[in-house]
Amino acid sequence: MMFEENEPVVASSDDIVITACPTLVEENRATQEFLWGYYFCIENNSSERIQLVGKSWNITDDKGNRFCDDSAGFKGEIPELEPGESFEFTSLAPLTSPHAVFYGSCRIRKEGRTESKDIKIPTFTMSVPLRQSACLN
Q: Tens digits of per-residue pLDDT, 49-92?
A: 999 999 999 999 999 999 999 999 988 899 999 999 999 999 99
* Listed residue (14, 33, 32, 34) closest to 24, CA to CA: 34
Query: Does residue 75 sit within a domain?
Result: yes
pLDDT value at residue 131: 61
Q: What is the CATH number of the domain that holds 104?
A: 2.60.40.1470
CA 64, distance to chain mean position in Å, is 19
pLDDT value at residue 10: 95
Percent of the chain with pLDDT over 70: 91
**What's the number of domains the chain is made of?**
1
The DSSP-derived string for 90-129 is EEEEEESSSEEEEEEEEEEEETT-S--EEEEPPPEEEEPP
Whole-model pTM?
0.85
Domain of residue 26 covers 9-128
Query: Does residue 134 sit within a domain?
Result: no
Query: Does residue 137 sit within a domain?
Result: no
Query: Does residue 99 sit within a domain?
Result: yes
